[in-house]
Chains A and B, each alone.
Chain A
Amino acid sequence: MYNFDFVKPSSIADAVAALAGEDAQPLSGGQTLIPSMKARLNAPGTLVSLTGIPELVGVCREGDMLVIGAATTHAQVARDAAADFPGLAALAGQIGDPAVRNRGTIGGSLANNDPSACYPAAALGTGATIVTDRREIGADDYFQGMFTTALEEGEIITAVRFPIPQASAYAKFVQPASRFALTAAFVARFESGVRVAITGASENGVFRWAEAEAALSSDFSADAIAGLACSPDEMIADLHGTAAYRAHLVGVMTRRAVAAAG
């Protein structure tokens, strides 16, 4: 790994100022960034740690929203969101393994937008708002394809605001070597309708499955989507699964999520 300057500010304002420098990059839990720096896929000149900023950490209910600070670890979300938003807490508790969950954070996961990551499914599946140091971005505009988001240079996520659904569940088919999702579905039922977000399957990253949303909005049951098939076009194909296999899993995992959400 190439060396870099390390800074650890204690406020969002200081972090944003440090990130304005040349070649600076934020470091949150490091569970994605450190491996990619070892592989020299990333070589920042300055790393700006976000782990010493108290305002970036915490899970807080605000009316019918659950607000989670960007530097909150997966382990803390699994614990502290359990009462208000069990579907999200369960998703956080399935990420990686305990040591990854003790360091990895929601902000890092959403900034990275790995096509097989878990949190993007919850953010898109609830229509969450990504709050940054300078604006608010709706999930439908935020995710722009594999490893691509609406974030600008030097912009950091400060929090994520999730509308709390009436019922929700995440069904994940684990790729056992990486522990990411081979394909997973997040289903959320709101008074206004049902949202379904799929991760791990598409070459364009996380996406909403519109046909399933329509069917489930009129009848929230696994049977309502029993005959529904997702097209294998533009699905990921690799040694772990063909495009057709992933397309099949989209249906299976969505039905499992609906059944689990009840």
Chain B
Amino acid sequence: MGKVTMTVNGRARSAEVEGRTLLSSFLRDGLELTGTHVGCDTSQCGACVVLVNGQAVKSCTAFAADLDGAEVTTVEGMANPDGSLGRIQQAFQDYHGLQCGYCTPGMVMSTAALLAENPKPTEEEVRHYLEGNICRCTGYQNIVRAVMAASGQDVGALAAE
């Protein structure tokens, strides 16, 4: 066991971890930030994506001990300071970018990483960037619309469902 400290959603947070403690369990079990979902636990689905030093990372496929000192943003950090939904979250609600919501935390975090890199992505760029985020409900169409809306682009121009 050893103590790991990260800045999570802007606050310094510490927990005792084993070598094998994954970032996903550090967040969910250690810090009780259960917004980060674990879907497959085998690096395939992207439900567990969080930002580590600004980059999208599958939290089920990184050891907490390896990220000592990192800055992490989870879906809990995406809301506005007053607790209302942040821009990306609001777009997912407005455009029905979720049904069961299981994939949503990962989708929102991947979207945040994409828009930080590329503020006005094309539809094709959005689909390409979200390749590692699997959704079993929506058929992706409304997710793409939500991402385009979150980037301030015209959603009406997208192909109809």
Q: Tell me the A residues contacting B by CB distance below 8 Å.
A: 1-6, 8, 27, 30-31, 34-35, 37-38, 47, 49, 51, 75, 96-100, 102-103, 179
Contact = CB atoms under 8 A, between A and B. Distances in A.
Interface stretch (B28-36, B41-49, B89-97, B140-148): B41-49
Interface residues of B, number: 28
A226 B2 CA distance: 60
A38 B19 contact: no
Contacts of A30: 61-63, 66
Interface of B: 2, 18-20, 22, 41-43, 46, 49, 52, 55-58, 61-63, 65-66, 68, 110, 113-114, 129, 131-133
A8 B65 contact: yes
Contact of B46 (A1, A27, A97): A97
5 contacts: A37-B20, A47-B63, A49-B63, A75-B55, A98-B131
B62 A3 contact: no
Given A3-B20, A47-B63, 11 more contacts: A6-B65, A8-B65, A34-B43, A34-B61, A34-B62, A75-B55, A99-B132, A100-B43, A100-B132, A102-B55, A103-B62
Contacts of B42: 35, 38
B66 A35 contact: no
Nearest to B129: A98
B61 A3 contact: no
Given A100-B132, A103-B61, A6 B19 contact: yes
Nearest to B41: A38
A99 B49 contact: yes
Contact of A27 (B49, B57, B66, B129): B66
A74 to B, nearest CB: 12
Given A34-B43, A38-B42, A47-B19, A98 B110 contact: yes
B20 A4 contact: yes
B61 to A, nearest CB: 5
Query: Does more than half of chain A's interface fall in helix, strand or loop, or is it mixed?
Result: mixed
A96 B56 CA distance: 13
Nearest to B58: A99
Nearest to B131: A97
Given A6-B66, A75-B55, A99-B56, A31 B61 contact: yes
Nearest to A102: B55
Contacts of B56: 98-99, 102
What are the 4 A-B residue pairs with the smallest beta carbon separation, nearest first? A97-B132, A6-B19, A102-B55, A6-B65
Contacts of A31: 43, 61
Contacts of B43: 31, 34-35, 100
Contacts of B20: 1-4, 37
Contacts of B132: 96-100, 179
A98 B18 CA distance: 27
A97 B131 CA distance: 6
A38 B61 CA distance: 10
A4 B19 contact: yes
Nearest to B67: A51
A35 B22 CA distance: 11
Contacts of A102: 52, 55-57
A8 B66 CA distance: 7
A230 to B, nearest CB: 29
A47 B104 CA distance: 33
A99 B57 contact: yes
Contacts of A98: 56, 110, 113-114, 129, 131-132
B65 A100 contact: no
A47 B68 CA distance: 15
B135 to A, nearest CB: 14
Nearest to A2: B20
Contacts of A99: 46, 49, 56-58, 110, 132
B19 to A, nearest CB: 4
